[in-house]
Structures are given as C-alpha cells and as structure tokens.
Amino acid sequence: MLSLKDPEKKQLLDWSRRYKIIEGIARGLLYLHQDSPLRVVHRDLKASNILLDESMNAKIADFGMAKICGVDQFEGNTNRIAGTFGYMAPEYTRSGQFSVNSDVFSFGVVMLEIITGKKNSSFYKSEDSQDLLSYAWQQWREGTPLTLLDPTIGDSYVKTEVLRCIHVGLLCVEEDATRRPRMASVVYMLDSNSASLPSPYLPAVSRHNKSESIHEEIESERSGTKLLPASVNKASITELYPR
C-alpha cells in the first residue's frame, strides 16, 4: 500500500520511484476509462487504494465502489454518495454526478500528495491555504512550485519532471470538471517533454476535512431533494488491477 504517513517508508520513495508510481496510476486509470472492455469509474481513488509490488509498480485496488458505464457512456448519477472526502470531486459531492472526470480529480489529489508527501485531508498551512490543493495553487501562482516537493527527497530529482507533475496535478483538480484532462491526455503530458500544457485554473477547495469515508446527508443542487446517506467503505473487496 502507498503510505504517506510512515517516515521510514517515505524515505524509500525517492523522486524516480514516485514518478514511476504516478505514471503507473495514470496508466491504470487510462485502462479503466478507455482500454478496458467495460468503462469503469473507480469512485474511490486514494493513496491507500494504491498497492505497490516489490518493484514499486503501482496497482489500483479496491473496486467496491466502482461503477461500470456503457462503452459510449462517460458519466452517470447516483443517489448514494460514497467515497472519501478530500478525494471526491466537487460535482460528485454536490449532486451525485460521477464521471471519468471525477476519477481524474481524485488522481490529481493523489499526485499532489505523492509530490508533497502530505495528505490532503490533514493538510493545513495558513489561513489562505486550508488544504493541499489551495496551497499548491498558491505556490504555483507565486512562482515557487518547487517548495511543494517533499523535503525527504533531497536534491535527487529532475526539476522538469517535478514541475510537469505539479502542473498536470493542478489541471486535474480544477473546479470545472469539463476543463480537466482525460487520462489519455494525462499520460501523454507525463510522458512527453515537449507536450504543451494549458494554464491551470483555480482548483476545487475541499469542503470536508475528513480522512475516512463517513455518513453524510448532502442536499442535491440538481433536484432540491436529499440524497441518501453516504455509505461507509468497510466491506469492499480489494483486487489487484494490471497496468
């Protein structure tokens, strides 16, 4: 399991390993969204649902909340909000609308966590940046994005790779779901040194600061009716998914 809390395990994750993990997660999501016979929206992508093998290859796990979409379907709606706050896209927590774009949001959060070595749900830096996403955006706007890099990495990193990952991460967590890149574009941007990246816009701000899935009644902005309480992810089945 990808751990961002254990200092000893973090020491093992130098930049090259973190970059490999980020790329592995991206390719795993691309498979689920595009290359799989059935399009799958994971709905609960987070650091603890990423498994690492002995070679540090990333495997997306725990498909207990996943939704299968039709071949030509990229989104859907549910009256049961299930997931982990801090990773769920804003449109999903507001109205139950999930899509491949909501998975992209979760991926962006995980990517920024891997870069910084900090959990979004427990991050607090200042009154101007109450979560990891707003802090990353603040550093980007101030021209100091490298301050986001986990200090345990030291000086053994590739500056262009770090900057590209931060840039792509901010694109993935934009408030407007239609502006987020699809995973095919994400993989291309991560793999290509010459890819032209659009400027990121203001990211979504976490409206809940809780690290575990909890029961929560959410008012539906779409229908004006209450959604059913969110489910607790305690009995979901864990699977390994090939890259």
**Span between the terminal Cα atoms of the chain, in Å:** 16
Q: Are 45 and 187 in contact (CB under 8 A)?
A: no
Alpha helices for 82-176 (secondary structure H): 90-95, 100-116, 132-141, 159-172
Closest to 64 in 3D by CA, of 49, 74, 76:
49
Helix-strand-coil split of the chain, %, nearest 5: 40, 10, 50
- 3-state SS, residue 198: coil
Q: Are 120 and 133 in contact (CB under 8 A)?
A: yes
User: Does 44 participate in catalysis according to the annotation?
Assistant: yes
Residue of 35, 44, 103, 128 with catalytic role:
44
What are the CA-CA distances from residue 139 to residues 90, 123, 239 (Å)?
Answer: 22, 15, 37
- Beta carbons within 10 angstroms of residue 128's beta carbon: 8
Residues carrying an active site annotation: 44
